[in-house]
A and B are shown apart, each in its own frame.
Chain A
Amino acid sequence: MMNILTPRPNPIVAALYTLRDLDVDVAVLHGPSGCGFRAARLLEEDGMKVVTTSMSEEDLIFGASDKLIEVLKEIDELFSPKTIGVVGSCVSMIIGENVKKAIIDSGLKDKAFFVEIHGCMGANTRGAIETLKAAMDFGLIDENEFQRQEKMLLLATEVESNSGMAKSKYTRPSRGADLRTVAEYIVNLLKDKKKIAVVLNAKKETAYLFADIPLAINLASKKYGGSIINVCNLSKIVGLSRIKRYAGDIINNYDSNGITIDYISGGLDEYPIAGKNAIEYLKDKDFDLLVAVGIPQALPILNKESIAVTNGPREVHPLEDAGYKYVTVEIASHSTVMGIRDIVLSELGEVIRDVAGIQ
């Protein structure tokens, strides 16, 4: 297997995000104080508490089960959580900490469950799958839901290695195409009464940001004409309640702006198959431009003029190589969507509004 040099999403962060999706109240990282720092901060803004056991050199040598028990009792008192997820780090797992026993000894086995991952090692999707499995064993989700999500995650790994940044040894980051150039291109097509297919293929909460781009294009079309085919992975019937709630929030916004969705391609955690569904739906339709936003790398390539909007500077080159005319990046996608219930302004959406003279 190729040794990929580019730093990549990791299992511990995936586990934390999955715990958040499951509406777990507190995540305990059994690791050093800096473990998962960036993600932990973001997730706290989204309402889940994230703490560490602050493992030190000494704990690494002597073991830190007592410390974990202590921390579990402390957070139980401090936050009165309904559910607690304990996540392994590289440090605690290398020394073989017996986390399950610590949970039992803390007296909190009815509230807390252990996600057995080894920190930053391995594919991020493994972190998500292990979390879901632990949640299933703990009784938070049923087996069908587990199997559906597991399938999605494995497909997501495939997308990443076939068309994402796990495709090559080192992927240079890029800010992508100039936003104004892209916005003008889109608005001019609408002025020429052309037809644009807009595919929202977003992952979970990032939809709150990416949904702004279809919104801006639809608003521009209302002003200048042209027509839009709206395809969105905003199913309100698949997935965890939290994820369905995101979809509902966005559809409410679209409704209030008079936007009709032509085709629902799947749920917000189904981006690996929703992309395929979207292209399947569009392949016989007639249109002049495809705009794919969210996880465009999950869309099969159509022989059509296309624009991609992604969340990762390191997805830009692979998408350009795949044949997209323009690729733009929404840099702040992860940080701006925490703790919100409505669409937030995107960078490209803002420039489209500006070019179109709407506000």
Chain B
Amino acid sequence: MKQIAIYGKGGIGKSSISSNLSVNLASEGYEVLLIGCDPKSDSTINLFGGRRIDTVLDLYKKGITDPNKLIFDGYKGVKGVEVGGPAAGVGCAGRGILVALKTLNKDYYLEKGFDIVIYDVPGDVVCGGFAGPAREGYADEVYIVTSGEYLSIYAANNIVKGLFNLNVKMGGIIGNMRNIVNEEQKIESYAKEIGSQLITAVERNSKIHESEIEGKTVLEKYPNDPLNLKFKEIGNKILENKKSKVPNPTTDEKIRSILGGLY
């Protein structure tokens, strides 16, 4: 069993990759649990035909804390959880994640025999709460999603700083392409710079958002599309990955010079 956390800049494709990866692994017979940790609660939406499942924190508010009732059956039998959180501009989402993880009770769900548990975590590490899924006892390793764009790598490096400070292992980088020059090379050079690896790069492909419009993953809408093989490849590499280690953050100047050198 492996627990992983996916971090990366907002909008970079964490949830798309997490959900597509989940259903493709499930279609190969793996037991998958996907835990969305974004207060926006949109990580699992494509496992449920566009439906938003009740979030842990909304249920918690109603006094429902039985872990069985917080986990839902999604497409291909992937189990989905949304942590949920406050409306924008009020309360404390970070605290929400910590409380939700505690309520979910990992001792309980880890006993269920999942092959992989995926935490899809929002944005950069913004406060201690958002680092919760990366703490001891939760994710064994972290994967960062990034494109080759400067701001995306800059955000990735901030996350790497967080991992370094918290002494958390990183499994590698998953590239999600924005179609810029030498993109894969740029991401790969950055990965090497911080002592990590590029797992693979996902092409920019409109099938991802076409499926999303119908509340589906690519597997559900285009079962035979080769893109699914890409997600299976990512999943299997993650399951087999033995090369995770604590990364070393680099400097802003270094990022600029890596990217600048590849134009």
State the Cβ distance, B33 to closest chain A Cβ, in Å: 22
- Point out the residues of chain B lying under 8 angstroms from A97, CB to CB: 90
Which B83-120 residues sit within 8 Å CB-CB of chain A? Answer: 85-87, 90-93, 95-96, 99
Closest to B129 in A: A61
Interface residue B57 (Cβ < 8 Å from any Cβ of A): yes
Instruction: Tell me if A62 and B91 are in contact (CB < 8 A).
Output: yes
Interface residue A233 (Cβ < 8 Å from any Cβ of B): no
* Given A94-B92, A95-B91, A95-B92, residue A63 in contact with residue B86 (CB < 8 A): yes
When chains A and B are docked, how far (Å) is the Cα of A59 from the Cα of B95?
A: 11
Interface residue A77 (Cβ < 8 Å from any Cβ of B): no
When chains A and B are docked, how far (Å) is the Cα of A59 from the Cα of B99?
A: 12
When chains A and B are docked, how far (Å) is the Cα of A94 from the Cα of B91?
A: 9
Closest to A94 in B: B92
State the Cβ distance, A52 to closest chain B Cβ, in Å: 18
Q: Interface size class for chain B? A: 10 to 19
Instruction: Tell me if B92 and A60 are in contact (CB < 8 A).
Output: yes
Interface residue A131 (Cβ < 8 Å from any Cβ of B): no
When chains A and B are docked, how far (Å) is the Cα of A95 from the Cα of B85?
A: 13
A sample of 17 cross-chain residue pairs with beta-carbon separation below 8 angstroms, ordered by A number, consists of A57-B95, A58-B60, A58-B61, A59-B91, A60-B92, A61-B57, A61-B92, A61-B93, A61-B96, A62-B90, A63-B87, A63-B90, A65-B90, A95-B90, A95-B92, A96-B90, A97-B90
Which A40-78 residues sit within 8 Å CB-CB of chain B? Answer: 57-63, 65
When chains A and B are docked, how far (Å) is the Cα of A158 from the Cα of B150?
A: 51
- Point out the residues of chain A lying under 8 angstroms from B93, CB to CB: 61
A-B complex: 5 closest residue pairs judged by Cβ atoms: A63-B90, A63-B91, A61-B96, A95-B92, A62-B91
Closest to A59 in B: B91
When chains A and B are docked, how far (Å) is the Cα of A57 from the Cα of B95?
A: 9
- Point out the residues of chain B lying under 8 angstroms from A60, CB to CB: 91-92, 95
- Point out the residues of chain B lying under 8 angstroms from A57, CB to CB: 95, 99
- Point out the residues of chain A lying under 8 angstroms from B87, CB to CB: 62-63
State the Cβ distance, A66 to closest chain B Cβ, in Å: 10
When chains A and B are docked, how far (Å) is the Cα of A94 from the Cα of B93?
A: 12
When chains A and B are docked, how far (Å) is the Cα of A58 from the Cα of B92?
A: 10
* Given A95-B90, A95-B91, A95-B92, residue A62 in contact with residue B61 (CB < 8 A): yes
When chains A and B are docked, how far (Å) is the Cα of A259 from the Cα of B87?
A: 66
Known: A61-B95, A62-B91, A95-B92. 5 other contacts (CB 8 A): A61-B93, A62-B87, A63-B90, A95-B91, A97-B90
- Point out the residues of chain B lying under 8 angstroms from A94, CB to CB: 92
Contacting residue for B85 out of A59, A61, A65, CB 8 A: A61
Binary per-residue interface labels of chain B (230-258) against chain A in the complex, 1 for a CB within 8 Å, 0 otherwise: 00000000000000000000000000000
When chains A and B are docked, how far (Å) is the Cα of A109 from the Cα of B259?
A: 56
- Point out the residues of chain A lying under 8 angstroms from B85, CB to CB: 61
- Point out the residues of chain A lying under 8 angstroms from B92, CB to CB: 60-61, 94-95
* Given A95-B91, A95-B92, residue A62 in contact with residue B86 (CB < 8 A): yes
State the Cβ distance, A119 to closest chain B Cβ, in Å: 15
When chains A and B are docked, how far (Å) is the Cα of A61 from the Cα of B85?
A: 7
Most chain A C-beta atoms within 10 Å of own C-beta, residue among B85, B86, B90, B96: B90
When chains A and B are docked, how far (Å) is the Cα of A299 from the Cα of B95?
A: 47
Which A86-102 residues sit within 8 Å CB-CB of chain B? Answer: 94-97
Which B36-72 residues sit within 8 Å CB-CB of chain A? Answer: 57, 60-61
When chains A and B are docked, how far (Å) is the Cα of A45 from the Cα of B86?
A: 38
When chains A and B are docked, how far (Å) is the Cα of A319 from the Cα of B134?
A: 51
State the Cβ distance, B83 to closest chain A Cβ, in Å: 10
State the Cβ distance, B263 to closest chain A Cβ, in Å: 42
When chains A and B are docked, how far (Å) is the Cα of A57 from the Cα of B100?
A: 11
When chains A and B are docked, how far (Å) is the Cα of A96 from the Cα of B95?
A: 13
When chains A and B are docked, how far (Å) is the Cα of A125 from the Cα of B92?
A: 29
- Point out the residues of chain A lying under 8 angstroms from B90, CB to CB: 62-63, 65, 95-97
Closest to B86 in A: A62
When chains A and B are docked, how far (Å) is the Cα of A95 from the Cα of B95?
A: 10
When chains A and B are docked, how far (Å) is the Cα of A63 from the Cα of B57?
A: 13
